[in-house]
Amino acid sequence: MENVTEIPLLSPKGTFPATVVKVIDDYKLVMNRGEQNGIREGQRMMVYRIDDEEILDPHTGESLGFLELVRGTGRIIFVQDKISIIETDQKKTYRKRIENSSLGLRSYKSEVVESDELKPFDNAQVGDLVKPI
* For the chain, domain boundaries: 18-90+119-132
The alpha carbon dihedral of 3, 83, 24, 26 has a sign of: positive
* Cα distance between residue 132 and residue 43, in whole Å: 8
The CATH code belonging to domain 18-90+119-132 is: 2.40.10.410
Contact 128, 49 (CB under 8 A): yes
**pLDDT at site 6:** 47
Angle ∠(119,99,103) on CA atoms, nearest 5: 155
Kindly give the confidence (pLDDT) of every residue in the chain, 133 residues in length, as a single tens digit, with 9 standing for 90 and above. 444 444 444 555 668 999 999 999 999 999 999 999 999 999 999 999 999 999 999 999 999 999 999 999 999 999 999 999 999 999 988 888 877 665 555 666 778 888 889 999 999 999 999 999 9
* Cα distance between residue 50 and residue 52, in whole Å: 6
**pLDDT at site 89:** 97
Q: What pTM did the predictor assign?
A: 0.75
| CA distances from residue 110 to 43, 95, 97, 107, 118 in whole angstroms, order as listed | 40, 13, 7, 10, 26
